[in-house]
Structure 1
């Protein structure tokens, strides 16, 4: 019985590690799709440069304390990205699931957060 419990515990640890590794692989695989979603839906306002209203707004807000271009940020987390995409903020519109699907949103969040959890 004791050896059976040890085996079960070892399998549980292995499964958890495998799932963790699989999640990291999935995030890595999402990055190209996330970049595509960014280019299609976000770059018109958030690409680097002074011609993009979202970038200019973030430059005014953060005054150099944080990068103004979203692709250069390191402080974003997936939940934040998903919240702003689904709910909008100030003049940024929200995006429906019919525009940016949940899987595309997950890929976008992975791309903008460099795969952070």
Structure 2
């Protein structure tokens, strides 16, 4: 009986340590800081692939010229999370809410040119 309890305790310890390792991996995956240094980095790696910012003069542009459209963080979050037309939706495991705010801030200061 005592040996059985010791074996069960050992199995439980191994299972708990494995669960902790999985939880740590998931947490790392959800922290997009592993992928993006800041809003500009996220813009360069994700947004700029499809959006032109030079008055619509980039031939490879799929999305609209964002230098002519001003988005606040909530509006940008809506488009990022839900997608729009050719734009796919990005979940929080791809781009965090904090990074969306940083992208919106970067766009307001560096991309948006106004009318």
Shorter-chain TM-score range? 0.5 to 0.7
Larger Rg: 2
Unaligned runs of 5+ in 1: 1-31, 59-67
Question: Residue 36 in 1 paired to residue 49 in 2?
Answer: no
Question: Residue 112 in 1 paired to residue 70 in 2?
Answer: no
Q: Which residue of 39, 42, 47 maps to 2:52?
A: 47
Could you tell me which residue of structure 2 aligns to residue 81 of structure 1?
76
Report how many aligned residue pairs link the two structures.
Answer: 70
In the TM superposition, residue 82 of structure 1 has moved relative to its aligned partner by 1.1
Could you tell me which residue of structure 2 aligns to residue 99 of structure 1?
94
Distance across 2 between alignment mates of 1:91 and 1:111: 23
Normalising by structure 1, report the TM-score: 0.52
| Stretches (4+) displaced over 3 A | none
Q: Deviations over 1:54-112 (max 9, x none)?
A: 1xxx3xxxxxxxxx2x2x23532221111101111112101011110122111111112
Normalising by structure 2, report the TM-score: 0.53
SS state at 1:53 partner = coil
Unaligned runs of 5+ in 2: 1-36, 111-115
Aligned-residue Cα RMSD (Å) equals 2.1
Distance across 1 between alignment mates of 2:68 and 2:39: 15
SS state at 1:51 partner = coil
